[in-house]
Amino acid sequence: MNGSAVWHPFTQHAVEPAMPAIARTDGAYLETHDGRRILDAISSWWVVTHAHRHPRIMDAIRSATETLDQVIFAGLTHEPAEQLASALVAMAPAGLDWVFYSDSGSTSVEVALKMALGFHRNNGLPRSRIVVMEHSYHGDTIGTMSVGARGVFNAAYEPLLFEVDTIAFPAAGREQETLDAFERLTRGREAAALIVEPLVLGAGGMLMYPASVLTELKRIAERSETLFIADEVMTGWGRTGAMFACEQAAIAPDILCTSKGLTGGSLPLAATLATDAIFCAHYSRNRARTFFHSSSYTANPIACAAALANVGIWNDEPVAERVAALSRMQAEKVARFSQDARFENARTTGTIAALDLRVGKAGYLAEVGPRLRAFFLERGLLVRPLGNVIYVLPPYCVTSHELDRLYEAIDEAAELAGDKK
């Protein structure tokens, strides 16, 4: 123990070394108190889009603090939330006409699940089963753990979790099996909703699947009147190459969850977007049909101001071109490992790249994971592998030279696979 009273997330303090203290952030870098610069190759857990401390977002935050702090959002409203809701409806896939605010990715998904169940209940339909995808991860609250993969993340909390129906991950060559399984689950019209991470499963190992599967899943859901929930907490705001991953499948979900990049990574804020049909199922003179959900900091005005500035950057700056350029660079640089026997499954979707280091024991708790993290940090690189899965998910301001340095380190890191058999 180092005297700190802080209990860090996803951290086993019994084996972790002393943690560097970050004093400053700038662009694609974190800077320690002694001036050491660390390239943020994972966007500080996938939240920073344009860059750390983008001037326009920082200015918007400073300006908002001159007039507002927190305002209760039950019975009152404010201009930053109203403007942001209009902007989100305009940017999102067609038909998502209502915006419900919360404060994290997990809570945005909890909101989505409750919306789906409330929709069916208020319409007099006994539908309560949630269909999920194998290896998925949707958060760490009880509901989100329930719809995520069961395993080391949530084994201790199993008694609290509700049952779900699971379809297989649509691995290459087995996509039809996934679609057939979903179709079977919807025949009895008991499924309330399907929830998926579109195109890329994040914490499950940066697993990637084609847009055509997403298109077909939506078609099956529509035919059986099963609500389609897109968890775009990680995949939104350009990560997969489009504003939202659903756009690449030419689909509009019934409910869309967004957080992380919503404020450009500056402040916690989340939103759950829903169709008019879902809103209307809760709209009634019968107060028992109210959507009963809130958090104390719902629609925090300062966070909403940051998100509005982020929207302005997307509208006024060539962000789409930066995303496209980064996507090309990622594809080019990870390609060097496609025939490298030390690695397997080198892959990209948009700005996200990943590859699996061949080891004897793979998975999230693979012994090589902490060694990899320490190896990269010694070289001034923040990389947080998912066990033996190394992924690169940087801010959009990262340069080709910086990526070269990162991929050279990945090349060297293969020597750490000492438990390979």
Q: Give pLDDT tens digits for 225-267.
A: 999 999 999 999 999 999 999 999 999 999 999 999 999 999 9
pTM > 0.95: yes or no: yes
Say whether both 336 and 192 belong to one domain. no
In eight-state DSSP terms, residue 207 is E
d(CA 53, CA 25): 7
How long, in residues, is the chain?
421
Say whether both 281 and 391 belong to one domain. no
pLDDT band at 417 (very low <50, low <70, confident <90, very high): confident
Closest by CA position to 203, among listed 178, 237, 233, 246: 233
Say whether both 352 and 206 belong to one domain. no
Percentage of residues in the chain with pLDDT exceeding 70? 99
pLDDT band at 67 (very low <50, low <70, confident <90, very high): very high
Say whether both 301 and 326 belong to one domain. no
Q: What pLDDT score was predicted for residue 420?
A: 47
Residue 282 reports pLDDT greater than 60? yes
Task: Classify residue 406: in a domain, yes or no.
Answer: yes
Say whether both 150 and 235 belong to one domain. yes
Q: What is the DSSP string of 260-315?
A: GGGGTTSS--EEEEEEHHHHHHH-SS-GGGS-----TTTT-HHHHHHHHHHHHHHH
Say whether both 371 and 282 belong to one domain. no
Say whether both 303 and 350 belong to one domain. no
Number of domains in the chain: 2
Task: Choose the final residue of a domain: 291, 316, 341.
Answer: 316
The partner residues of 229 in beta bridges, in order of sequence, read 195, 255
Task: Classify residue 378: in a domain, yes or no.
Answer: yes
Task: Classify residue 182: in a domain, yes or no.
Answer: yes
Residue 416 reports pLDDT greater than 90? no
Say whether both 306 and 335 belong to one domain. no
Residue 421 reports pLDDT greater than 60? no
Q: What pLDDT score was predicted for residue 345?
A: 97
Closest by CA position to 313, among listed 145, 143, 100, 91: 91
Asked if 258 contacts 283 with a C-beta cutoff of 8 angstroms, the reply is: no
Task: Classify residue 113: in a domain, yes or no.
Answer: yes
Give me the domain span that covers residue 381: 318-416
Q: What pLDDT score was predicted for residue 2?
A: 66
Domain holding 354: CATH number?
3.90.1150.10
Task: Classify residue 140: in a domain, yes or no.
Answer: yes
Say whether both 211 and 74 belong to one domain. yes
pLDDT band at 418 (very low <50, low <70, confident <90, very high): low
Task: Classify residue 85: in a domain, yes or no.
Answer: yes
Q: Radius of gyration of the chain from Cα atoms?
A: 21
Strand 129-133, strand 191-196: pairing: parallel
Average pLDDT for residues 131-144, to the nearest whole number?
97
